[in-house]
Structure 1
Amino acid sequence: MTQQGTIKKLLPGGRAEVEVTRRSACGHDCAKCGGCGGLETQTLYVTARNHTDAGIGDRVLIEGETGRVLGLAALVYMLPLVLFFIGYAIGNAAGGGASGALVGGVLFALGIIGAIFYSRRMKQNGEVPFEITHKL
């Protein structure tokens, strides 16, 4: 996965905070389509390894380790959902009624909390799935 961005901050350990504008796959030609309802683009800030001599304000090309990025997305989006259904099944088998939703909700929340702690641990260890490959 390759994106363009602008370096906003240099970080210790040869890393940089890069501002990336996330665009939809349709190309955002809303005047012709209107299918997405004219949603604005979203600005994200990612940490990337900076092995080029890029400085603050430089436009750069960043590349993500596709497998790792998809794995993180699965952790954040799929794990809580899977845990909810497992909890719902366990709650229904144990007592039925509202207990299924309660146990499912608790496991869903635990999945989200687990993803947050994993993200924080990655940040503390300096693990980043992105790397700056070129200055533009």
Structure 2
Amino acid sequence: MTQQGTIKKLLPGRMAEVEVTRRSACGHDCAKCGGCGGLETQTLYVTAFNGVAAQVGDRVLLEGETGRVLGIAVLVYLLPVVLFFIGYGAGSVLGGGAAQAAICGGLLFALGILGAMWYSRQMKKKNDVPFAITQRL
């Protein structure tokens, strides 16, 4: 996974905050098509290893470890939903009715969100980021 971005801030430990403009998944010219509602201009800020000593304002090429990025996406998006259904099923089996099942599902969903937040903070503490700056443009 390769993207271009702009260095916004230098961080300790040869890290940098990079502004990346998110592109559409289909790779087409959304400005002309308008089919996806113009989401191509969404701006993200990612932390990346700055191995090329790029400076603030430099345009850079970022590479991400695709497997890790997808793993993080599964953790953040899929885990809470799966936990909701597990909780809903467990609540139903316990025989408390739909209300108890929904409460159990909601609690496990919240637990999944908290787990994803905890994991994200642990990655930041260790400077364990899935992105690296490979070159200045």
The equivalent of 2:133 in structure 1 is 132
Note the residue ranges of structure 2 that are not aligned, 5 or more in a row. Answer: none
**Normalized per residue, which structure has more helix?**
2
In 1, the alpha carbon distance for the partners of 2:19 and 2:89 equals 42
TM-score, scaled relative to structure 1: 0.94
Note the residue ranges of structure 1 that are not aligned, 5 or more in a row. Answer: none
The equivalent of 1:54 in structure 2 is 54
Structure 2 residue matching 1:61: 3-state secondary structure? strand
- Give, as a single letter, the amino acid of the residue that structure 2 aligns with 1:45: Y
Structure 1 residue matching 2:35: 3-state secondary structure? coil
The equivalent of 2:107 in structure 1 is 106
Q: 1:40 Cα deviation (Å)?
A: 5.2
In 1, the alpha carbon distance for the partners of 2:40 and 2:2 equals 20
Give a deviation string over 1:50-93, Cα, whole Å, max 9, x none. 11021000000000011100000000001000000000000000
The equivalent of 1:87 in structure 2 is 87
In 2, the alpha carbon distance for the partners of 1:49 and 1:131 equals 5
In 2, the alpha carbon distance for the partners of 1:40 and 1:70 equals 20
The equivalent of 2:77 in structure 1 is 77
Runs of 4+ in 1 over 4 A off after TM superposition: none
Give the length in aligned residue pairs.
135
In 1, the alpha carbon distance for the partners of 2:30 and 2:40 equals 11
The equivalent of 1:23 in structure 2 is 23
